[in-house]
């Protein structure tokens, strides 16, 4: 594998984070007193009922929103604006349709003072890393959903972020592609050891990939419990320990009601 420069890792610290939105002149409490430390190179999954504030939490960490109380720090620096040290991947790959895969991936480097040869190498190495070698010149409309999301992953990695924030990144994919891309994400994470925080509705995915699974409660969004997944990576999907943890998280999410 050609992409050899490991991305720097980082410690993220969230303390007493609360967030309100104002709707119809009324305050809507979306997040309340979130405390979470994410260690260098850790993979943290976040699960919780729809509307409990998972995406809001990621947006605050990304810096896309900066109106909050409490503190969010990355390596000791307060986060209040987007930065290349935090990459984001959404459910919709949102590739620019008039650009090829190679141009889409390279786009984040346009204004960066990096020699062209180095930029080209970084882009091609990443396209290789995500398994799109041979599709460098393809346009988004020529890609399957899984391939487009691979390109989006390469695009997010190209600026070598310290933290990668993933908001339901595999949510729109068919079941088999989803499983395959879970393995790809795990492989990329193992290779780069960057800090990853992933929101997902799929408890199995959360437990399969995460070192810890954060379970959130709604109204207002808060952390109910954090479950450790003390298994080495890469993981075995058939592991009885993994299944037991999945069942425990599911039970917690459904308040003990068997579904």
Ligand X SMILES: Nc1ncnc2c1ncn2[C@@H]1O[C@H](COP(=O)(O)OP(=O)(O)OP(=O)(O)O)[C@@H](O)[C@H]1O
Q: Would you state the structure tokens that stand for residue 114, as one six-digit string?
A: 């990096």
Ordered DSSP codes for 78-122? E--S--TTEEEE-SS----TTS-HHHHHHGGGTTS---HHHHHHH
Strands 43-48 and 212-217: parallel
Pick between residue 27 and residue 81 the one whose CB is nearest to ligand X.
Answer: 27
Of 56 and 149, nearer to ligand X (C-beta) is: 56
Both structure tokens of 73: 């720090």
Q: Name 12's Cβ contacts closer than 8 Å, sequence gap at least 6.
A: 36, 37, 38, 61, 72, 73, 74, 163, 195, 197
Nearer to ligand X, 56 or 62 (CB): 56
Identify which of residues 32 and 52 has a Cβ nearer to ligand X in the complex.
Answer: 52
As measured in angstroms, the least distance from the Cβ of 74 to ligand X is 20
If the CB atoms of residues 214 and 229 are measured against ligand X, the closer one turns out to be 214
What is the nearest approach in angstroms of ligand X to the Cβ of residue 204?
16
Instruction: Return the number of the residue (4 or 67) whose C-beta is nearest ligand X.
Output: 67
| Angle between helices 116-129 and 145-157 in degrees, nearest 10 | 140
Residue 30 is encoded by which pair of tokens? 């979306």
Residue 163: enclosing H or E segment and its boundaries? Answer: strand 163-167
Provide the minimum distance between the beta carbon of 59 and ligand X in the complex, in angstroms, as a whole number. 7
Kindly state the smallest distance separating residue 184's Cβ from ligand X, in Å. Answer: 23
CB atoms within 10 A of CB 184: 18
The Cβ-side half-sphere exposure at 185, using a 13 Å CA radius, reads: 30
Which residues are near ligand X by CB under 6 A?
A: 21, 23, 28, 30, 48, 50-56
Supply the minimum distance, in Å, between the C-beta of residue 51 and ligand X: 4
CB 191 → ligand X: shortest distance, Å?
28
């Amino acid at each position: 594998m050609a992409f050899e420069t490991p991305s720097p890792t980082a410690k993220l610290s969230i303390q007493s984070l609360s967030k309100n939105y104002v709707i119809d002149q009324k305050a809507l409490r979306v997040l309340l007193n979130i405390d979470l430390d994410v260690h260098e190179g850790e993979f943290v999954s976040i699960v919780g009922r729809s509307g409990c504030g998972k995406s809001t939490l990621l947006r605050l960490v990304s810096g896309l929103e900066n109106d909050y109380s409490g503190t969010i720090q990355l390596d000791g620096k307060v986060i209040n604006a987007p930065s290349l040290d935090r990459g984001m991947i959404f459910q919709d790959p949102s590739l620019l349709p008039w650009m090829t895969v190679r141009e889409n991936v390279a786009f984040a480097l346009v204004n960066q003072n990096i020699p062209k040869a180095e930029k080209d190498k970084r882009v091609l190495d990443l396209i290789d890393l995500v398994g799109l070698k041979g599709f460098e010149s393809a346009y988004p409309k020529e890609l399957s959903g899984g391939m487009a999301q691979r390109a989006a992953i390469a695009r997010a990695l190209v600026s070598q972020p310290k933290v990668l924030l993933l908001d339901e990144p595999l949510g729109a994919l068919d079941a088999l592609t989803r499983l395959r891309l879970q393995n790809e994400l795990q492989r990329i994470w193992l290779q780069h050891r960057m800090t990853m925080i992933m929101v997902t509705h799929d408890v199995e995915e959360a437990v399969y990939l995460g070192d810890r699974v954060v379970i959130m409660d709604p109204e207002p969004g808060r952390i109910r419990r954090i479950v450790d997944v003390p298994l080495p990576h890469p993981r075995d999907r058939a592991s009885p320990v993994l299944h037991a943890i999945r069942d425990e998280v599911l039970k917690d999410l459904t308040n003990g009601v068997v579904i």
